[in-house]
Structure 1
Amino acid sequence: MRTASPQLIAMLNEDQFVMADLYAITTVQGDVYRYTNYDFDLSVGGYNYSSKGPVISREGISLSLGVEVDNLDVTISVTNEQTFEGIRVVQAFHNGQMDGARFKLERIFLTPNHPTNTSAGTVLLFEGRLIEPKFDRNRIDVSVASDLDDLAVQMPRNLYQPSCNNTLFDSACALRRENYLVNTVIESGSTTARILCTLSQPQGWFTQGVIEFLDSGNVGLKRTVRLHESGALLLTLPLLEAPQSGQRIKVYPGCDKRLETCINRFSNKDHFRGAPYVPVPETAV
């Protein structure tokens, strides 16, 4: 059941009112972008919803009883000048900056006599995560899945296995990503698949880790580190454009989920959730 304020209910009982949709996109990094399909910018609950941003349109909302996942199909039409934090919107989706972002759709009602008075509040229509984006130069088609989509996680969650059940830096691992972040810059001679940089950590420290680019056309792009050699990071996938000397990067370590790595690299044995002494199937009786 959707709720509405007494002021909004009274407005809906009047003969005339106008409606507008409010869209809020929140990235996993905490950046929030708010837009409206209204003719003017609107201030709602202390937040500004821009009428000059990307044009967001939507299909009807699919709602079901039970545990079937509810969906909303959204189309985002953009110009080359419209950006998210300085990056073209389509490129932000391509770079993965919007992976896991949350999408919130609300509707607001206004009277013709007071077309920007938003004090009556909003009605929440849909909320969920952006999944499966498809895009071309100036358009993104993306689905929004309700939080019931989380029920699709394979069970059982935990297995008896030699390697750790945790994912590095998740809540069970208990380590803070920021404490292991290394800031450095790209050095000359780097390619789209091999990044040269100065790192004080021993060889292999960042294998299976993550590198994040902060400048130029690769800004916001993240890549898994396939191999950390002395003075070089080999990427699992090549970059969109060649990196340039002096560009800033963030590098996070990797974890092979072995007990020795948990002890020697992270001093985190208390949170290790593997069973390293489980016998292999050929020797179990």
Structure 2
Amino acid sequence: MSDLTTTRARVWALERRDGQVMGFTDHDRDLAFDGLVFRAGTGMSASAIVQATGLAVDNTEAVGALSDAGLREADILAGRYDDAALTIWEVDWRDVTWRRVLFRGSLGEITRAGGAFRAELRGLTEPLSKRGGRVFTAVCPAVLGDADCGFDLAQAGFFAEVELRVVAEAGAILTLPELPEFAAGWFTDGHLRITSGAAAGLSAQVRRDEITEGARILHLWAAPGAAPVVGDRVRITAGCDKRFETCRLKFLNQLNFRGFPHLPSDDWLIATPRVEG
């Protein structure tokens, strides 16, 4: 790395959860390495990076202008950059093979003001600051389909891919084909992911699933950050209310149930002997 600070620039590689990778630099021309072009003129900059030894959390932030050439406000509002992976290098712009990693982590809270954004950057040690431990409850704490659950949601009968017929309430209520092979309520507490159109890659949780007049209507807990339109394709997966009966009867997965269905309730804990005359 050159000792002359005037030959140094910073570059950012940002990878969203949908797999899209974007590159930015504060240099006055584009730079490229590792198969990625880092675009100049995006208005991106970063405050001083504070790093410490041990398990201390790296602390920094990035700021930039909202523009079509860089980060678009619509994508930020849609949540496409939530928890996006981020790597920051310092490079010699004359020869980018001379570079070093300054920061590796993810985007945290993003705020907007005056046509610009400010994003908190969270280091790799951020998860270590969270409290851990197992909670003993009657319901299952696992997420359907994750490693603890062990259920394969890709098997037939537990997902469907269809086109939207009607979109209402800014995307919070979606009408699909009837899908008679699935019972009413089959997708309640399930997951919906938009796979085509401008909102592709966004997802939401299903609050209620009902069948009416030859159609299936899904009520979401919250509308996606960008509303889908009629004709967009979605993938929906079966829902689980995390009860033992559901795990056993709906998914035949009772051996992987992570809850404690026979745990005494609060009423049992405060029960007292009853005296009868």
TM-score by length of 2: 0.82
Q: 1:54 to 1:178 in 2, by over 3 A?
A: farther
Which whole-Å CA distance do the structure 2 matches of 1:189 and 1:151 have between them?
A: 41
2:78/2:226 contact within 8 Å kept: no
Structure 1: 5+ residue runs without aligned partners?
1-7
1:223 alignment partner in structure 2: 204
The reply on whether 1:246 has 2:231 as its aligned counterpart is yes
Which whole-Å CA distance do the structure 1 matches of 2:142 and 2:224 have between them?
A: 29
Q: Deviations over 1:196-249 (max 9, x none)?
A: 102342112211222223455544432221111121101222456765332222
User: Aligned with 1:105: secondary structure?
Assistant: strand
Q: Of the candidates 233, 253, 274, which is equivalent to residue 218 of structure 2? A: 233
The reply on whether 1:266 has 2:251 as its aligned counterpart is yes
Q: 1:70 to 1:208 in 2, by over 3 A?
A: same
2:59 alignment partner in structure 1: 71
Q: How many residues align?
A: 261
Q: 1:140 to 1:16 in 2, by over 3 A?
A: closer
1:213 alignment partner in structure 2: 194
1:96/1:222 contact within 8 Å kept: no
Identical positions, percent: 23
Q: Of the candidates 138, 158, 165, which is equivalent to residue 162 of structure 1? A: 138
1:90/1:137 contact within 8 Å kept: no
The reply on whether 1:125 has 2:102 as its aligned counterpart is yes
Q: Of the candidates 241, 244, 257, which is equivalent to residue 242 of structure 2? A: 257
1:35 alignment partner in structure 2: 24
Q: 1:237 to 1:31 in 2, by over 3 A?
A: same
Q: 1:177 to 1:49 in 2, by over 3 A?
A: farther
TM-score by length of 1: 0.79
Deviation of the 1:99 alpha carbon: 1.6
Which whole-Å CA distance do the structure 1 matches of 2:154 and 2:84 have between them?
A: 20
1:164/1:258 contact within 8 Å kept: yes
1:21/1:38 contact within 8 Å kept: yes
Which whole-Å CA distance do the structure 2 matches of 1:21 and 1:275 have between them?
A: 51
Deviation of the 1:53 alpha carbon: 6.7
2:187/2:209 contact within 8 Å kept: yes
Instruction: Report which stretch shifted further, 168-177 or 229-238.
Output: 168-177
Deviation of the 1:72 alpha carbon: 1.1
Q: Deviations over 1:128-165 (max 9, x none)?
A: 1211111258422110111222123233x212221112
Matches within 5 A, 1:74-93: 74-79=62-67, 81-82=68-69, 89-93=72-76
1:5 alignment partner in structure 2: none
